[in-house]
A and B are shown apart, each in its own frame.
Chain A
Amino acid sequence: MTISEKKLVDMYQIMLTIRRFEERMVIDYHSGAIPGIVHSYIGQEAVATGVCTNLRLDDCIISNHRGHGHCIAKGADLNRMMAEIYGRKTGYCKGKGGSMHIADFGIGMLGANGIVAAGLPIAAGAAVAAQLEGGDRVVVLFFGDGATNEGEFHEVMNLASIWKLPLIFACENNLYSVNTPVKYATGLQHVSERATGGYSIPSFVVDGNDVVDVYETTEKAVAGVRAGEGPVFLEFMTYRWRGHFEAPGMPDLRPVEEIEAWKKKCPLLRFEGVLLEEGIVTKRTLEEINARVMQRIEDAVGYALASPLPAPEDALEDVFSS
C-alpha cells in the first residue's frame, strides 16, 4: 500500500461522514422532517470516497439519484446539503432541487440527476469542455448497473471512445436496478464487458467495498486519462444496504440472507480493521473521529432547522438565468 497515512485517515473520515449523514437522513426522513423521497448510499461509501480522493478541485463529477456520497466525497458543504434535503432556502439549490438534485459547480460537482443514465451525455459534454481547454482535467461519471441498459449509456460510451474523452465511467454495480437483478437485466457477469467488448474502452472490475482497491485502481485510471489516453471504465462491485429508496411499505425483494451477507462485508468496518491492523490509528483515534463527524452532522441538521423555508413566490425565480 503506497497511500500516505494522512490520506488513509482522510478517506476514513469521508466514508464515516457519508455513513453518518445517510443514517441521520434516513431517521429524519421517517420522522417526517424531510419531504419527498431519499435514496440512501449506505453500503457503497468506499466507491465515492476512493474515487473522489483522487480528484482535484477542478476535476468534475456527475452523479445520479443516489448522490449524497458523491457530493460529500467531492467536498460539498454538509450544512448546505442538509438544508437542501430539508427544503430550506439556504440549501445548495435554494430548496428547488432536494435530495436528488444537489449540485455545487464551485467544487466541480455538476449535479445529481434523477433520470437513470441522463447524466451520461452531460458528463460527456463536460469532458469535451475539459478536452477543448487543453489542460489535464478529468470528468468522473457515477452511475449504477441499471443505467447500462439505457440507450444513452451506449451513445456516450461510443462518443467517449471516438473522441478519446477525458472521462472515467464509475459504474457502481450494486447488483440491482431497484429490485431487478443485474444478471437478469444484462445477461452478463460484469457490465464492464460492454465497455471493452463494444467500445474498446479499457475496463477494470474492482472490489467496491475495499476503499484501498478503489483508490489505487482509480489512481491509475486518472493518471492515464490525464495523460490523454482516453476514457476508462471502472466497475465497482458493491451493495446497497437499504431499499432502492426510503419507502415505507414498499417491499425489498432481495433475499434477506444476501443483504445480511453483504452487511458483513461492510466497507467501513473493513477499512477500520485495516487501519488498526497496520497501526495507522488507534481505537481512541477512531472514536475521536466519530465524535467529530457526529458533531458535524448534528451541526448540519441544526443549520437546516434554523434556516428559513423558501417563500412560496420564490418558486418563480431561476426559471431562466439573466
Chain B
Amino acid sequence: MRKLSYEQAASEALMEEFRRDEKTIHLSTDIPLDLRQEFGEARIRQTPISESSFVGAAIGLAGSGFRPVVNVRMATFGFVAMDQFVNQAAKITYMFGGQARFPIVYRMTVGASKSFAAQHSISPYSMYMNVPGLKIILPATPYDMKGLLKTAIRDNNPVISFEHMALDVMEGEVPEGEYTIPFGQAVIRKEGNDVTVVALAKMVHETLAVAEEMEKEGISLEIIDPRTLNPFDRETVKASVVKTGRLIVVDEACITCGVAAEITALVVEDDRIFKCLKSSPKRVCGLDVPIPYSPPMEKYALPDRENIKAAVREVMM
C-alpha cells in the first residue's frame, strides 16, 4: 500500500472534502497553497492573526450554511480565542435549542518535544473535553488523520482536531480511494492479555515500541488508541480491562485533571470492572510543569518508554 505522511494525509482529506462539498471554506493565517490554487481566494481565505475573530467567524459561517475548516495552528494560540470556543462554539447549538447546526472543524497542533518552550508546547485536550458541546479527535497515524478529518468535516457540530506536532512527518499506510472513520470507535493497536494500556497521540507509538520489549519479558500488552476523545469509546476500554485486569493510561499532557484521570475513573467506577482489577490503575503522564526549553529538561518533563516500562512492571508485581 502507498505511504503518506501525517501532514500529507491531512491535506488529502481536505482536498477531497473541498471537492465534494462546495460549502466548505478554509480560514487560516497561513494559506494551504494546494487548496488556494484549486479553490481560490474567497474559499481559501487568509486571515490576519486575530484568533478570536476567525474562530468566531467560523461559527457565523456555519450558522449560515457553510462548513468552515479553521487551522488555528498551535493549540497554545487557541487560548487567545477561548471565549469563542467555550462560550460560543460549544454552547450555541444547545443555547438556541438545536434550531441551527454548526458544522466546524478547528485544527490545532498539540504536544511537545521540539524545544519550542512553554508557549508553543501543550496538550490541552482535557480542558476542551470538560466543555460539553465539542467533539474531539486525536489522530495518531496518517490513516486515522485522513479518515477522522473527513468525518469531522462532514459532522454537523464543532469538532476540534488535535494533531501532534511530532507526528507531522511520520509516514504510514493510507489506501487510495474513499474512506472515513466513525467517531467513538477506538482501535486496538495490539492485542494482549496482561495489561491494558490506553495511549494517546504520539504515546501510541512509544507504547507499541515498549510492547515489543515487554514481550521478551513475557508480558503481553493490549494497546488501545481511543482516536476520538468526545465521543469516547468506553466499551472497548472496559472490555479490555475485564480481560487483562490491569490498566495503564499513557498521555504526554500533564497529569493533573488530564484525560488519563478521566479514563481511569470511567473504568474504576464501574463496579463490575473494579472487581476484576488485579492491581491499581496507573497514569503515565507529563509532569505538572510548563514545558521547558532546554532539551534535558523537556525530555524529563514528558513521559518516555522507561516510564511506561516502569508502570507495566509495577502493575505486574
Query: Which residues of A does B touch, CB under 8 Å?
Result: 60, 62, 91-97, 101, 103-106, 110-111, 113-115, 118, 120-132, 151-152, 155-156, 158-159, 162, 317-322
Contact = CB atoms under 8 A, between A and B. Distances in A.
Interface string B53-81: 11111111111111010000000000000
A160 B133 CA distance: 28
Contact of A152 (B56, B95, B96): B56
Contact of A111 (B61, B92, B156): B92
25 contacts: A92-B97, A101-B95, A105-B63, A105-B99, A114-B87, A118-B84, A121-B52, A121-B53, A122-B57, A122-B59, A122-B60, A125-B64, A126-B63, A126-B64, A129-B65, A129-B66, A152-B52, A155-B50, A155-B53, A158-B50, A159-B48, A319-B132, A320-B135, A321-B98, A321-B156
B43 interface: yes
Interface residues of B, number: 43
Contacts of A113: 88
Interface of B: 25, 42-43, 45, 47-48, 50, 52-66, 68, 83-84, 87-88, 92-102, 132-133, 135, 156-157
Contacts of A128: 25, 45, 57, 60-61
Contacts of A151: 52
Given A158-B50, A320-B133, A124 B96 contact: no
Nearest to A165: B57
Given A115-B88, A125-B60, A158-B50, 13 more contacts: A93-B96, A93-B97, A96-B95, A96-B97, A97-B95, A97-B97, A113-B88, A114-B87, A122-B59, A155-B48, A159-B54, A319-B93, A319-B132
Given A105-B99, A155-B50, A124 B56 contact: yes
Contacts of B61: 125-126, 128-129
B54 A121 contact: yes
A210 B18 CA distance: 48
Contacts of A126: 60-61, 63-64
B168 to A, nearest CB: 28
B190 to A, nearest CB: 32
Contacts of B53: 120-121, 124, 152, 155-156, 158-159
